[in-house]
Amino acid sequence: MRLERLPGIHHDSACIVVSGTMSTIIVDSGTSWYQTNLVERLLPHLEGRAPVEAILLTHRHYDTCAAAPHIANHFDVKIKVHENAVAPLAGGDMFTTWASRYDSDMPPIDAEGFSDGEQIDLGDITLHILHTPGHTIDACCFHILEKDTIICGDLIPAAGHPSRADMPTGNLVEMKSSLESLLELSPALLVCGRGDAIVGLETCRDVIHKHIESVQMRIEEDGTLPMGWPKPAETCHWLTPEPAWSFENN
């Protein structure tokens, strides 16, 4: 297996490339603002790898998936997303994709739907689809069982920045359940949607526990942020705890 994470530019989510012996998948694409640049960044990372099979999307948000049609067209591959996001993306939904908050059009995305429990065989590794709603109703993670690795999108944007659930289709109770499901899998590597990867069994466990704790606090306060936490900008999909969280490898 080869896994590389290309950090996003400006508002963009990270773009993650995962290759097995048979095929390669690209996870998330960021906004459409830097889509040409992203192709140029991807090409060197794809040299010597198995051919690209598909673009997988962790969820429907503009900052995560708007460049997917351009990337898919370049590599002549399909786009895949959880089945709950297929219709909104096909219609260029401006509201639940949050595109309107970026003063941008949401490009219509023709995507195939997948569901919880499906598997994608890359050769020496298999990606297991985990439906993990909370940030959005269609949010998913991708579990590479052979490597104790989870690509978690914006369910865990970064070790020290918990995810928002106050956007359209978000749900704190579902987010807590999704985080608990990750904890049960005992990952040794969490590949985040925004921040650096979280490495090590104990650190991954501690980070997930802290994120669950923050969600529980918000549930108990009917969604209100803990005292002292700044209100995020509309285009920011994560929260900033005060005081800042600290972990062993962060």
85, 138 contact by CB (below 8 A): yes
Tell me the angle at which helices 201-220 and 172-185 cross, rounded to the nearest 10 degrees.
Answer: 160
Q: Tokens 């709603």 correspond to what residue?
A: 133
Structure token digits, residue 21: 């012996």
- What pTM does this model have? 0.96
Residue 87 has pLDDT above 90, yes or no: yes
Edge-to-edge strand ranges of the sheet holding 2-6: 2-6, 15-19, 24-27, 52-56, 78-82, 111-114
Instruction: Assess whether the previous peptide bond of 243 is cis (omega < 30° from 0).
Output: yes
Please indicate whether residue 140 or residue 103 has the higher confidence score (pLDDT). Answer: 140
Q: What percent of the chain has pLDDT over 90?
A: 97
pLDDT band at 248 (very low <50, low <70, confident <90, very high): low
At 104-163, the pLDDT tens digits run: 999 999 999 999 999 999 999 999 999 999 999 999 999 999 999 999 999 999 999 999
pLDDT at 231: 95
Residue 36 has pLDDT above 80, yes or no: yes
Architecture of domain 2-158+189-199: 4-Layer Sandwich (3.60)
pLDDT at 249: 52
pLDDT at 247: 85
